[in-house]
Amino acid sequence: MNILETLQQRFATVLEDFTDNVGPFVEMIRPSQDAKFGDYQANCAMPLGKQNGTAPREVALKIVDKLNVADLCEPSEVAGPGFINLTLRTPWLEDLINRIAHDERLGVEAVAKPKTIVVDFSSPNVAKPMHVGHLRSTVIGDSLARVFRFAGHQVITDNHIGDWGTQFGMIIYGFKHFVELKAYEQDPVGELARLYRLVNQLCDYHDAKSKLPELKEQIERAETRLAEMDPDSPDKQQKKAYKKQSSEIAGLRAELKTLKAKIAAVDDDPELKELADKHPQIAVDSRKQTAKLHAGDQENVRLWDEFLPLCVEALQKIYDRLDIAFDHTLGESFYNDQLADVVKDLEKKGLAVESDGAKCVFLEGHAAPFIVQKADGAYTYATTDLATIKYRVEEFGADQMCYVVDARQSEHFSMLFKTARAWGYNDVELQHVQFGTVMGKDGRPYKTRSGDTVGLESLLDEAIAKASEIVAANDDAKKDADGNPRPELSPEYRAEIAEAVGLGGVKYADLMHNRESDYVFDYDKMLATTGNTATYLQYAHARIYGIFRKGNILPAKLRSEVPRIEIKDPTERALALRIARYSEFLSDVVADCRPNLLTQYLFDLSNDLTAFYAACHVLNAEDEQTKRSRLMLCDVCARVLSHGMSLLGIKAPQQM
């Protein structure tokens, strides 16, 4: 059961006497910020007092008078300007925790009205290896899907991979001109990745060369203008303009530097230079390969058919490591034959019009149009995304779609959703679940020292390698009663734990931050053995199993014996209450698509557990009944911990 909801319902009937619109006031019943104000508090008396022209305290007293919560709360108190403080009766909480302890769903009821929710996440471009930029979408999307599903919704996960775009043209071009067949036979995906990087580099080279003169001129012009400005002008406007101009020049210079670096990288390498000279039109020609593929060119389609499964398989390897599965992998190519109809329909409905040769949807509030077909006839991802919405509504019966995608694409989604609604898809709830950038310690987007993006695979390897050292060091330090070294874990089990700790650390670090803000990627912090990390939760869980092992307790057997949990110590009460509030937090995660609420909950739960653990002996409890009560409390806590972690996609080992 959801305690908060129960209280809100009780209030709702009372509040009807005070207002016609109880909704917003019921929302003002919430958990207390501070334990000294009780467990929950109602803040609705102040605004109601104002609305009705009565003193808030008086309103609060009247509400309390009519309120019927005597079964679950101590007598309510009115405090301050009119806060109503509610404290749960411990016997009532005790009954509740005992029910939860024997409930498979840990007291979490499934939603009354399940929706069909499509979660669109990860969505890498298959032509290039996954990198750190895909981490958040993948980890957050997976967790949300798990939470939605547990909440009782029908969830469809769909990996909308990029398998049809410009990048594939580049690979095909690369394959036709630069492939090393031996390498391709040995490691096809590695060779394709090399080809992609090579073609990309050569494209960048020519692009940089062509841009260079103009950029230099631009800088000169800007500098001339700057020289005419007065940095110490008394006029604020002019001073500001000067600053702006300087920063613009700094930006242009930085751009110049990267361009020069790209050019130098090729010029300094005779082999690359030769290739670059031989392929001056590589960018245009790569695009032509893409166009040929889309037009159904036999050779290119054959190559695509050959490459795609290899690429998808390589992706799958990473998903397997991450313990992530999709119900569907419907990439861009899947919608190819539906795109022409989408544009036709948009035109028919007067939404898409021609402009500069392209077919565009113009939307209020947006300067740039939503381009559904380019001047050269090719379709864009706007078109594909529209086709995807249509497909998901018609084939999946989707009530809701969550796009777990970088915040930088917010304008695209805003336009996409507006267009979709204008197109007639009004009933489906479309949601851009956006997130911030993964930054390096320098506060810039996370890159390797040489400036490349960090591959996801090597990132995971690194995390697990570091975790291995920590796990080994910890196990090696274990001692027996006489103080002699006595490691407990087999090499195999150590490896398993290192994997759980390493991957868990990476995922947890990502999930614990408010998804909308950028966060700094730092191995040392995410794998730290102290503080708010996955390891801390895992350790809390393992400690409970440590007690079970030491006491020869089998949790399943314990449960079947139905010992009653008795709440005596304040730490027991705090722990029980936290456990009982699991369902509240999950419904918040569902409502806001914010897994960090769950990580915070689990961290608090672990803290409550260790506090309880420090204050109350379990195996050495004062009597058998208390011991069994506490064991049972440990058991239900361990179940919530491991269940909550599973919703984050994190493993909870029983021993560490």
Partner RNA sequence: GCCUCGGUAGCUCAAUUGGAUAGAGCACUGGUCUUCGGAACCAGGGGUUAGGGGUUCGAAUCCCUUCCGGGGUACCA
Positions 47 through 66 that interact with RNA (CB under 7 A): 47, 50, 56
In this chain, which stretch among 64-72, 93-101, 351-359, 452-460 interacts with RNA, using CB under 7 A?
351-359
Query: Of these, 37, 150, 196, 326, which contacts RNA (CB under 7 A)?
Result: 37
| Positions in 117-176 near RNA (CB under 7 A) | 125, 162, 165-166
Distance CA 652, CA 639 (A): 10
618 binds RNA (CB under 7 A): yes
In the chain, the N- to C-terminal Cα span, in Å, equals 33
Distance CA 61, CA 80 (A): 12
245 binds RNA (CB under 7 A): no
Opening angle at CA 56, ends 50 and 60, nearest 5: 130
Distance CA 629, CA 650 (A): 28
227 binds RNA (CB under 7 A): no
Distance CA 299, CA 311 (A): 18
Query: Of these, 531, 564, 622, 625, which contacts RNA (CB under 7 A)?
Result: 531
480 binds RNA (CB under 7 A): no
Query: Of these, 518, 523, 559, 646, which contacts RNA (CB under 7 A)?
Result: 518
368 binds RNA (CB under 7 A): yes
Nearer to RNA, 272 or 430 (CB): 430
340 binds RNA (CB under 7 A): no
Query: Of these, 130, 371, 416, 650, which contacts RNA (CB under 7 A)?
Result: 371
In this chain, which stretch among 208-216, 259-267, 278-286, 513-521 interacts with RNA, using CB under 7 A?
513-521
Evaluate whether 457 touches 130 at the Cβ level (below 8 Å).
yes
Contacts of 372 by beta carbon, 8 Å cutoff, 6+ apart: 342, 343, 346, 352, 359, 360, 361, 379, 380, 382, 383, 386
Minimum distance, C-beta of residue 579 to RNA, in the bound complex (Å): 17
Distance CA 21, CA 147 (A): 31
Nearer to RNA, 46 or 183 (CB): 46
Minimum distance, C-beta of residue 186 to RNA, in the bound complex (Å): 30
Cα 430 to Cα 211, 223, 392, distances in angstroms: 40, 47, 11
Query: How many residues touch RNA (CB under 7 A)?
Result: 108
> 107 — phi, psi (to 5°)?
80, 10
Nearer to RNA, 116 or 409 (CB): 409
In this chain, which stretch among 67-75, 102-110, 132-140, 610-618 interacts with RNA, using CB under 7 A?
610-618
| Positions in 246-275 near RNA (CB under 7 A) | 247
In this chain, which stretch among 65-73, 371-379, 450-458, 642-650 interacts with RNA, using CB under 7 A?
371-379
Q: What is the dihedral of CA 477, 480, 485, 487, to 10 degrees?
A: -70
Q: Which residues pair with 435 in a beta bridge?
A: 406
Nearer to RNA, 34 or 271 (CB): 34
Minimum distance, C-beta of residue 410 to RNA, in the bound complex (Å): 6
357 binds RNA (CB under 7 A): yes
355 binds RNA (CB under 7 A): yes
Distance CA 418, CA 296 (A): 32
Query: Of these, 550, 562, 564, 625, which contacts RNA (CB under 7 A)?
Result: 550
Distance CA 245, CA 218 (A): 12
Distance CA 42, CA 29 (A): 4
390 binds RNA (CB under 7 A): no
| Positions in 66-95 near RNA (CB under 7 A) | 79-81, 83, 85
> 93 — phi, psi (to 5°)?
-60, -35
535 binds RNA (CB under 7 A): yes
Distance CA 358, CA 360 (A): 6
Minimum distance, C-beta of residue 614 to RNA, in the bound complex (Å): 4
DSSP state of 31: E
The strand ranges marked E within 229-382 are 352-355, 358-361, 370-373
Q: How many CA atoms lie within 13 A of 503 on its CB side?
A: 23
Evaluate whether 454 touches 131 at the Cβ level (below 8 Å).
yes
Evaluate whether 403 touches 431 at the Cβ level (below 8 Å).
yes
In this chain, which stretch among 61-69, 217-225, 388-396, 608-616 interacts with RNA, using CB under 7 A?
608-616
Minimum distance, C-beta of residue 275 to RNA, in the bound complex (Å): 23
In this chain, which stretch among 181-189, 207-215, 425-433, 542-550 interacts with RNA, using CB under 7 A?
542-550
Q: Residue for token digits 């695509």? A: 304
Q: Binding pattern to RNA, positions 400-439, x when CB under 7 A?
A: -------xxxxxx------------------------x-x
In this chain, which stretch among 23-31, 265-273, 455-463, 557-565 interacts with RNA, using CB under 7 A?
23-31
